[in-house]
Amino acid sequence: MEKFDLCVIGGGPSGYAAAMRAIDFGKKVLLIEKDKIGGAGLYNGALWSKTMWEYSQKIMQIRQETGENRASFEGMMKMVDEALFDRKSQMTVHMKLLYEETESKLFNYEKGIASFIDKNHIRIQKKKEEKVIYADHIVIATGSRPRKVDNIPVDEQIIVTSDGIGNFKKLPESLVVVGAGVIGCEFATIFSNLGKTKVFLIDKGDRILPFEDEDVALMVMENLEKNGVVIHKNSSLNNIKIIDGRVHYELKYNDGRLESFEVEHALISIGRVPNVEDLNLEAAGVELNERGYVKEIDTQTTTPNIYVAGDLSANIALVNVGEREGRHAVARIYGKHVKPLVYTNISTIMFLNPEVASVGMGEQEAMEKCISVKVAKIDYSCISRAIAMRKTNGFFKILVSNDEDMRLLGMRAVGEHASSAIQAVAYLIHTNQGIEELAVMMHPHPSIIEGIQECVRMLLGKSIYKSSVFKDKLKCYVRDQQTCIPLEKL
């Protein structure tokens, strides 16, 4: 029986990162993957959908500039396949060379379905055989899959989850998206950008993205509607079925009304569930919580030598978070004095129209936690780079503590280059600093991040444009549960 210092189950972003971190410690590691290296982070996940978004953005720009629509499903999937091939090739070649050309021979790989025999022994079921290995420590990183419910007949052809979009033969003439969270809104953005699909979006509330600040959600919602998306607000799916190869669905609104629709395809985007069924976790003493996720404290499960990373935990299901968890788990096993992971102030990107990026606390969260904050907000129409790009649809918003320190608490960026604009603020939040540094730095010109500098200048009372004059473009105020008071009136 072959023995390893560490066995990693799952070759997605979390597992791959964990395996590579173990090599840094000089440990003999086995990575087991049942399907494809890269997992959902590569196939039917982040890279896949974001490549579709990039394609849709290019198509939308061409449509706006020339009136010509070059969108095709074949063209979009060709771009996706090229992106996946590039990333997959990098990972597989890296693994192969790591195994063949390094003297230490620390890295090992098996393709098969892994399950626990006990807390140290793993059975690997392959196509024509099975084998058993021993590992001192184990990291579980088997990821997640789209959630399905019994009353929705998902066939991954007509009614699909994100896993089934690649089965389309062409761009749908009509599509209903069930679920108005990030993923649902991203796909509504992609297909509406392409200009050949009538998109419907089912939203239980009166606005999409209920976890986000209202001004962020409203801007995204307005742009979706300008792009032709019909948002069924305050509604729930009462019934959905396939009749003669098309989707028939019935909505029930909060006021009791029923309304029926017919479309070519439906996309179900109601969350994801962890992949735990094949693992036989009971044999290793690994417990699940009431929602079906692995119980863990700082990546360590209820069995001390077994750790978890990525979507199996009930933390934030993002590639960057999963990779960090995988690396952290290995550092906990083999490192010294490792600080616990902190899940606050994580930078996120939503690939919508316009692009949305965030870090730290938003106004909505501040109100829920009864935290009084100072807020500054600047419209993209006041930023030279946005004017030059002719992309003035968006804003920056910065929150600081309502005290003399004005410690950075959070930021929301909505618009062109939003994802690349938040990192400096993310760092200052991470290091618990105030805003003086951003105010006095010489930012490059013309650049989008000059808008961030003008935000913090407003908070310090020394902005170039005054919010008391440009009330429709600049806002600076104190926000608590009861009030929203302009700073110049305090």
Give pLDDT < 50 ranges for the chain.
Answer: none
pLDDT at 489 (0 to 100): 58
For domain 354-489, the CATH architecture is 2-Layer Sandwich (3.30)
**358 in Cβ contact with 413 (< 8 Å):** yes
pLDDT at 91 (0 to 100): 92
Both tokens of 472, joined, read 């429709």
pLDDT at 487 (0 to 100): 67
- Select from 203, 209, 210 the least CA-distant residue to 251: 203
pLDDT, tens only, 141-162: 999 999 999 999 999 999 999 9
The count of other CB atoms within 10 Å of the CB of residue 284 is 23
pLDDT at 420 (0 to 100): 87
Between CA 431 and CA 440, with CA 436 as vertex, the angle to 5 degrees is: 120
**What are the beta bridge partners of residue 21?**
none
The domains spanning 3-145+273-334 and 159-270 adopt the same CATH topology: yes
Q: Name the CATH superfamily, with its identifier, for domain 3-145+273-334.
A: FAD/NAD(P)-binding domain (3.50.50.60)
Say if strands 348-350 and 356-360 run parallel, antiparallel, or are unpaired.
Answer: antiparallel
pLDDT at 468 (0 to 100): 83
User: Which CATH number among 3.50.50.60, 3.40.50.2020, 3.40.50.720, 3.30.200.20 corresponds to the domain 159-270?
Assistant: 3.50.50.60
Distance between CA atoms of residues 419 and 425, nearest Å: 12
Cα 382 to Cα 216, 352, 463: the distances in Å are 18, 22, 12
Q: Where are the domains of the chain?
A: 3-145+273-334, 159-270, 354-489
Distance between CA atoms of residues 397 and 402, nearest Å: 15
**329 in Cβ contact with 308 (< 8 Å):** yes
Between CA 195 and CA 204, with CA 199 as vertex, the angle to 5 degrees is: 150
Cα 91 to Cα 18, 36, 39, 128, 163: the distances in Å are 14, 11, 11, 26, 21
pLDDT at 289 (0 to 100): 95
pLDDT, tens only, 240-268: 999 999 999 999 999 999 999 999 999 99
